[in-house]
Structures are given as structure tokens and as C-alpha cells.
Amino acid sequence: TRESARLGALRGRLVAGVAALPDVRINGGDSVGPAILNATFAGARADDLLLLLDAAGVDASTGSACTAGVHQPSEVLLAMGRSEADASASLRFSLGWTSTDADVDAVVAALPEALARARAAAAR
């Protein structure tokens, strides 16, 4: 559909911005829906990164949509064979009918500083 194509284009821009950061792994390969991006941010705790992004006005989640509000490593990533450390360093970004290019730009702009701060906190 037209909406799937629009979301896929937004996701592609988001993937490009997130994947450009050091030590970041995009999860799920090519078989993911156009509205979801899950990424592992090595060296950071997802909960720290989540709080820092929230302070910057960016919404994300540490788990799947069906476990929203529950702060624990993604069961899906664990089932895929990822380590608990990787699953605990992963965030999910969801796109929807209200998502725009400006929203993607805001995430990509906020991530570098938030990630640096989250990694610094995890190193302590």
C-alpha cells in the first residue's frame, strides 16, 4: 500500500542515520515490517538511552509492542540467539501514520549525544 511505502521510506532514512553511529547493529535483517526499527547500541544500557532520548523528546521502547512499559531485555532478541547484554542494549523505534521526515530527523539528531552519554554512564 501507499502507507507501507511511505513508512518504509521513513524507516530507510532512520536505518541510515542509526547505522551510521559507531558500534550499532540493526536487528531483524530484511524481513521486518516497514514501521519498526530495532537496534543494538553496544556499550550502552537501553534504559539509560531510553531516558536520555525521552528527555530529548524522542519516544522509543526497550521491548516489543506487546511488552510496552515493561523494562526487560527483548524476548524476541533473546529467542533470535542474541546475548542478554545485546538485548539489554537494544531499543525499538516505531513509525506510524503521524510519523514524518522531521520526526526521523529529530531521532537522528538526538541519538549521538544521548548514545555518548549512555555509554559514559555504563562505563562507570
**Catalytic residue IDs:** 66
Sign of CA dihedral 84, 86, 87, 89: positive
The SS3 of residue 36 is: strand
Cα–Cα distance, 5 to 39 (Å, whole number): 21
Give residue 75's Cα distance to chain centre: 15
Question: Cell numbers at residue 57, please?
Answer: 523528546
Beta bridge partners of 93: 37
User: In angstroms, rounded to a whole number, what is the distance separating the alpha carbons of residues 17 and 49?
Assistant: 16
Nearest CA-CA partner of 69 in 85, 53, 92, 39: 92
